[in-house]
Amino acid sequence: MTDTRVGVDVGGTFTDVALVHDGRLTTAKVPTTDDQSVGVMAGIEKACDEAEVPPAAIGSFTHAMTVSVNALLEEDGATTALVTTAGFRDVLEIGRQDRPALYDLDAEKPDPLVPRRRRFELPERATTEGVEIPAAPADARAVAAAIADADEDVEAVAVSLLHAYAHPDNEATVARVLREELDVPVSVSHEVLGEFREYERTSTTVVDAYVAPAIDRYVGNLTERAAAAGVPEPRIMQANGGIASADAVRERAVTTAMSGPAAGVVGAGALGVPFDDLVTFDMGGTSSDVSLVRDGEAERTTEAEINGRPVGVPMVDVETVGAGGGSVAWVDGGGALRVGPRSAGADPGPACYGKGGTEPTVTDANVVLGYIGAGSALGGELALDVTAARDACARLAREADLDGPLAAARGIYRVANANMARAIRSVTVERGHDPRGFALAAFGGAGPMHAAALAADLGMTDVLVPYAGGVLSASGLLAAGEKHDAVRTRREALSSVDPDAVADVLADLAADVRDRAVGDPPVEFAADCRYAGQSFELTVPVEGPAFDPATTAERFEASHEATYGYRMDDPVELVNLRATAAGETTPVDPGYVGGESVAVARTGTRTAHFAASGGDAASVAEEDDPEPEEGHETPVYDRDALPVDGAVEGPAVLEQAETTVVVPPGWTGTVLPDGTLHMASDGDGSGAETDAAGGAGDV
User: CA 371 → CA 410, 455, 493, 607, distances in Å?
Assistant: 12, 17, 59, 9
Same domain, yes or no, for 287 and 432? Answer: yes
Which tens digits make up the pLDDT trace of 4-39?
A: 999 999 987 789 999 999 888 899 988 888 899 999
Same domain, yes or no, for 390 and 347? Answer: yes
Segment holding 265, helix H or strand E: helix 259-269
Residue 696, pLDDT score: 30
Residue 273, pLDDT score: 83
Domain end position, chosen among 154, 185, 215: 215
SS3 for 649-690 is ECCEEEECCCCEEEECCCEEEEECCCCCEEEEECCCCCCCCC
Chain CA centroid to CA 493, Å: 36
User: CA 402 → CA 270, 397, 616, distances in Å?
Assistant: 44, 5, 15
Give the CATH number, domain containing residue 521: 3.30.1490
Predicted model pTM: 0.85
Q: What are 321's strand-pairing partners?
A: 288
Q: Is residue 293 part of a domain?
A: yes
Same domain, yes or no, for 91 and 195? Answer: yes
Same domain, yes or no, for 286 and 424? Answer: yes
User: CA 130 → CA 151, 493, 636, distances in Å?
Assistant: 36, 19, 70
User: CA 584 → CA 2, 167, 482, 522, 581, distances in Å?
Assistant: 20, 34, 7, 9, 10
Burial class of residue 616 (count of CB atoms within 10 Å of its CB; 0-12, 13-18, 19+): middle
Q: Is residue 672 part of a domain?
A: no
Which tens digits make up the pLDDT trace of 356-408?
A: 889 999 999 999 999 998 766 554 456 788 999 999 999 999 999 999 999 99
Residue type, 564: Y
The reply to whether omega before 341 is within 30° of 0 (cis) is: yes
What is the Cβ-side half-sphere exposure of residue 116, based on CA atoms within 13 angstroms? 7
* Helix (H), strand (E) counts: the chain: 17, 37
Same domain, yes or no, for 100 and 190? Answer: yes
For the chain, give the percent of residues with pLDDT over 70: 93
Give the CATH number, domain containing residue 125: 3.40.50
Burial class of residue 141 (count of CB atoms within 10 Å of its CB; 0-12, 13-18, 19+): middle
Same domain, yes or no, for 319 and 369? Answer: no
Same domain, yes or no, for 603 and 511? Answer: no
Q: Is residue 578 part of a domain?
A: yes
Same domain, yes or no, for 126 and 36? Answer: no
Q: Is residue 692 part of a domain?
A: no
d(CA 585, CA 326): 33
Q: Is residue 680 part of a domain?
A: no
Q: Is residue 352 part of a domain?
A: yes
Same domain, yes or no, for 456 and 315? Answer: yes
- What are the DSSP calls for 271-311, one per residue? ---S-S-EEEEEE-SS-EEEEEEETTEE-EES-EEETTEEE
Segment holding 31, helix H or strand E: strand 24-31
Q: Is 46 helix (H, G, I), strand (E, B) or coil?
A: helix
Number of domains in the chain: 5
Q: Is residue 573 part of a domain?
A: yes
Query: Which residue, 297, 88, 83, is CA-closest to 188?
Result: 83
For 442, the domain range is 262-324+420-474
Q: Which residues of the chain have pLDDT under 70?
A: 1-2, 375-382, 611-630, 683-699
Residue 616, pLDDT score: 43
Residue 614, pLDDT score: 44
Q: Which residues contact 393 (CB under 8 A, 6 or more apart)?
A: 360, 364, 365, 368, 405, 406, 408, 409, 412
d(CA 407, CA 430): 32
Same domain, yes or no, for 123 and 209? Answer: yes
Same domain, yes or no, for 281 and 429? Answer: yes
Per the CB < 8 A criterion, the answer to whether 160 and 190 are in contact is no
Same domain, yes or no, for 570 and 453? Answer: no
